[in-house]
Amino acid sequence: MGKIVSFSNQKGGVGKTTTCVNMAAYLALSNRKVLLVDLDPQGNATTGLGFQKSKLKKSVYNVLIEEENVADNVLDTELENLKLLPANIDLAGAEVELVYKKGREKVLKNALDKVKNSYDYILIDCPPSLGLLTINALAGADGVIIPIQSEYYALEGLSQLMNSISLVRSHLNREIQVYGIVLTMYDGRSKASKDISAEIRKYFSKVLYEVVIPRNIRLSEAPSHGKPVVLHDPKCMGAKAYGALTEEFLKKTEEKGE
């Protein structure tokens, strides 16, 4: 049975999509069967894997609103073990339409449950909000990975996110865990990066991944080539860091049998 992992932080631009796409790629290369669900109307994970958003015939919208099967809306990617359930701006409408649906918080969960057996990991790239799309991701997830940018104010909003996860645990999904916090865009020379890392280590040391993702230009240019960094420049610092993070993730989740 596959694990569903939600990449969530209502703060924008913190590295959710970069982390989700690149961990998905490394998991696929580690012989895990992976489905990436793009749950953001911005469709950045979709573009980042080489698809043109305006030309999508299949998408997560069809699953959430038209009640189509996930399996009928999944696309192949350059990596054999990595499939994509893509998104585009139509999804912005879905967030509104979902409000009127019965069991609106669990529409995604119910759809993913039908394909959970076909994958080892289903990774969900959330939008930067705590709206109904993110609640759907959390309601279906076994665990959450929270990317945090190594900048001042990074911790603002973190308590609100933790609070939302607790609410989801009480009302929608008793099993949900925080798998880990990952520090992104880390700059070893900057005081802000060091301060934030020390602060998070102080309060959240149990869930902070040891691997830190450095600020790396290759990570930001890979999406413009429609590729995860491992297919763009596998030797760069950013690629090595995501490779190591994926190993740490696998060790923690699979050893503990979580």
Give the residues lining the site for ligand ATP (CB under 6 A): 12-18, 40, 42, 44, 128, 184-185, 213, 215-216, 219-220, 223, 238
For residue 82, the cross-strand partners are 34
Q: How far is the CB of 14 from Mg ion (least distance, A)?
A: 8
Residues from 30 through 69 that contact Mg ion (CB under 5 A): 44
Of 163 and 220, the one with the shorter C-beta distance to ligand ATP is 220
Q: How far is the CB of 6 from ligand ATP (least distance, A)?
A: 13
Q: How far is the CB of 113 from ligand ATP (least distance, A)?
A: 25
- The one of Mg ion, ligand ATP, none whose footprint includes residue 168, by CB under 5 to 8 A per kind, is none
Amino acid at 92: A
Listed ranges 9-17, 55-63, 95-103, 139-147: which one lies at the site for Mg ion (CB under 5 A): 9-17
Sort 218 into a burial class: Cβ within 10 Å, 0-12 / 13-18 / 19+. Answer: middle
**C-alpha span between 75 and 95 (Å, rounded):** 22
- The one of Mg ion, ligand ATP, none whose footprint includes residue 228, by CB under 5 to 8 A per kind, is none
Binder of Mg ion out of 17, 19, 22, 184 (CB under 5 A):
17
**C-alpha span between 170 and 187 (Å, rounded):** 37
- The one of ligand ATP, Mg ion, none whose footprint includes residue 238, by CB under 5 to 8 A per kind, is ligand ATP
Of 46 and 62, the one with the shorter C-beta distance to ligand ATP is 46
β-pairing verdict for 34-38 and 121-125? parallel
Cβ count within 10 A of residue 210: 11
How does DSSP assign 109-163, residue by residue?
A: HHHHHTTGGG-SEEEEE--SS-SHHHHHHHHH-SEEEEEEESSTTTTTTHHHHHH
Q: What are phi and psi of 184, to 5 degrees?
A: -115, 165
- The one of ligand ATP, Mg ion, none whose footprint includes residue 150, by CB under 5 to 8 A per kind, is none
Cα Rg of the chain, angstroms: 17
- The one of ligand ATP, Mg ion, none whose footprint includes residue 173, by CB under 5 to 8 A per kind, is none
Q: How far is the CB of 73 from ligand ATP (least distance, A)?
A: 21
